[in-house]
Chain A
Amino acid sequence: MKATSTKAVIRLNQKRRSPASTSIRRNAAGTARSTSRKPAGRQPQRLLRGLRGSLSVIISARNEARTLPPLLKQVMRLHPLEIIVVLNGCTDNSFQRTRLCPQAMIVHCPETAGHDVGRALGAKLSRGDILLFLDGDMVIPAPLLAGFASAVDGGVDVALNDLDHLLPPFGLSDDVTRCKLYLNAVLGRSDLGVSSMTAVPHALSRRALEVIGYRELMVPPKAQAISLMKQLRVEKAGTVNVFKQNRLRQGNTGAGNRVEQLIAGDHAEALLEVLAQRRMHSGESLQEQRRQLAAWRNGI
């Protein structure tokens, strides 16, 4: 029974796919599969078969006409409930290219809205139980994306990209990395390392979105601080090497660049949120604590 139903879905998929892409797939599959007659649809079916919740994919893009179509193709393999593409101040033909994907819901902001504003907009419009956030400048294979969605489906509230083992030694790392490490350490989650909502891909549960509030997604570190303080389940869910693929732009290269400063400011906002939640110790008790500490250190 199950097998036949799967087949039916595959057929449907193949019908919907444009002939050109189908032929490319056949070629890619090679001769080994030529006898099975259904080479194209198998892989996507395995990706997110048992997903209980529905998936919304939110893509923020700025002049990504070149990478958006292949990215959308990978996203389609996840069979999401909806794809929301927020085009932020695009001057190329990103809009036309995105419209080629029939499922994509496009939010077109002709003027630049600023960093991460698109995420908040997309989150507000979304309806799914799982929200997967992506950037338009990076084509990530569907199986890697599936990991984040299925982590949220399995009960995680915030599923983050784990970049720890890709880091250089701390002395050589950049300010963004240091800010991310510090925020996690302050919140008592050093185990999260450099994982941050600043980095894509990451996924949120609907519950997380409600607890955090979609407006806060504009400042990702603040959203992360809130989710950790509100006891949401924040976990690493997989590794996508974004360092390798990140598009180098005028504003994001070199030490002390504009993006680096923006992210430092974002972390300042996050730390303010943490400080506001925490009652600071009074000076007197602190002094007493210091005295005891000194005694302890010297074995008295």
Chain B
Amino acid sequence: MAFVQFSVRRETCAVARDSGLHRLWCNPQPGSMPSEGRWMSLKQHRRTSARRSGRRASQAARRNSRPRPRPAAVLPAVNHPEPYVSVIIPAMNEARTIAAVIAEARGVHPRCEVIVIVNGSADNTAEIAYSMGAKVISFTQPLGHDVGRTVGAEAARGEILLFTDGDLVIPAADLRPFVEAVSGGEDVALNNYSGPVRRRLPHPVVLSKYALNIMLGRPDLQGYSLTAVPHALSRAALTALGSASLSRPPLAYARAILDGLKVKAVHKVPVGRMNAVRRKAEGKDPLQEIILRDHLEAVALLLERRGKRAGYGDAGRRREMVR
């Protein structure tokens, strides 16, 4: 009996229903796919080799996993002598991920250099990075949060500086838009990601980023900032901001907007989900404290430059009426 084969897989049935075609269950051809039958449409009789050969037509081949690019096999494993893009990767005990991070970084541009700033690492992060052909700047002591970015920016020779992190393996395809935006004329290309915003009361860091953008008169930038990697800077932006300022990203960010640099959010990489969960000391995250204070200082810088109302008007308040 042909109808014994009615135990079709669920998804096949779903496809048939969704496509709205009336289909007929047919006998399989002898010798082809003994465990499955084949579909035949009553309405449409498309002549495809698929039907003849017994493969299911109009259905994409099933994949068990998303295909991953393997750039290490095709791309050069050395830094370009005259780089156009410098990829800056601060790393601290990232031996597990650093090889993949460098491999992806090589895929952003044919003329690229990878700079890994290894600081305070007790594992073999530096050795792995070196074997991958990256320029390695090593420090035995931890430099401090985001200080590696300054060191990397000083060593960079490219026209475009792409910042990422040693613990985030971001596919090259997700890094390229930042490079493309800067080569297309932007000064600062930001990650189009604000962090989790579904709750009514957000995380303090997310809130700070949003508030800073409002104060800067750029609420359209939502919660985007230089605090989140990846992002790219032009050489001109680096000269304007100074590499030292990159150690405190919110301040560098505020300065970029105040100096009138072209800042644009170009591509979304939801790094929040990739980030490792860190330990907390007595429920308080000291990193959070620092980020919050940096944001407040960015507001201070803004108020210094734009006046006490940050450039916003008073909507015709006659303050002299109350004495």
Contacts and interface: CB of A to CB of B under 8 A. Distances in A.
Contacts of B214: 175, 178-179, 264
Contact of B211 (A109, A182, A266): A182
A290 interface: yes
Given A182-B208, A215-B322, A300 B142 contact: yes
Interface stretch (B20-28, B151-159, B176-184, B286-294): B286-294
B50 to A, nearest CB: 44
B198 A170 contact: yes
Interface string B117-161: 001101000000000000000000111111100000000000000
Contacts of B286: 293, 296
A171 B145 contact: no
Interface in A113-166: 113-117, 120-121, 124, 164-165
B66 to A, nearest CB: 27
A258 interface: yes
B120 A121 contact: no
Interface in A171-201: 171, 173, 175, 178-179, 181-182, 185-186, 190, 193
Given A182-B208, A268-B303, A298-B120, A291 B313 contact: no
Contacts of B308: 268-269, 272
A261 B310 CA distance: 10
B309 A268 contact: yes
Nearest to B203: A170
B316 A289 contact: no
B312 A264 contact: yes
Contacts, number: 175
Classify chain A: how many residues form its interface, as a range.
35 or more
Nearest to B142: A294
Contacts of B194: 171
Contacts of B219: 175, 255-256
A256 B219 CA distance: 8
Given A171-B198, A182-B208, A265 B313 contact: yes
B265 to A, nearest CB: 15
A297 B200 contact: no
Interface in B278-312: 278-279, 281, 286-287, 290, 292-293, 296-297, 299-300, 302-303, 308-312
B315 interface: yes
B314 interface: yes
A298 B201 contact: no
A83 B146 CA distance: 57
Contact of A297 (B287, B293, B313): B287
A271 B212 CA distance: 11
B68 interface: no
Which 4 A-B pairs rank lowest in CB-CB distance, beginning with the nearest? A265-B312, A114-B317, A171-B197, A290-B144
6 contacts: A175-B214, A178-B207, A271-B303, A272-B308, A280-B300, A294-B92
Interface of A: 109, 111-117, 120-121, 124, 164-165, 167-171, 173, 175, 178-179, 181-182, 185-186, 190, 193, 214-215, 218, 251, 255-256, 258-259, 261-262, 264-269, 271-272, 274-275, 280-281, 286-287, 289-291, 293-300
Interface of B: 92-93, 119-120, 122, 141-147, 194, 197-202, 204, 206-208, 210-211, 214-215, 219, 247, 278-279, 281, 286-287, 290, 292-293, 296-297, 299-300, 302-303, 308-319, 321-323
